[in-house]
Amino acid sequence: MTIRKFVAGDRVQKRSGGPIMIVQKYCLRQHVFGGNSHSGHDVECVWYENGRRESAIFDQRTLSKVSIFPPSSHVYNNIGNIGKPRVST
């Protein structure tokens, strides 16, 4: 059984770079010579380029999850403090 690394709505990027994409679903991959295969690793992703919606299927092992907020951002650094009382100094 294949472990799925992503869920619909996750933001991902190819490990080699490229646009940030949104995972739509896991799917069957159609082969050029006909027929389908379901390795359990194939993910349909969408992104926008020059105002056009693009989509493609990628092997999940070629993708990395992308944080919405970069680690240096104020929001990212305060996520761990949600629900904790503020202490003034």
Nearest partner of 15 among 49, 63, 47, judged by Cα: 63
More confident residue, 56 or 78: 56
User: What's the order of all strands across the beta sheet hosting 21-26?
Assistant: 52-59, 42-49, 21-26, 11-14, 63-65
Q: What is the pLDDT of residue 35?
A: 55
Q: What is the pLDDT of residue 61?
A: 93
* pLDDT tens column, 52-68: 999 999 999 999 999 87
Q: Is residue 42 over pLDDT 50?
A: yes
> Using an 8 Å Cβ cutoff, are 18 and 56 in contact?
no
For range 67-85, the mean pLDDT:
54
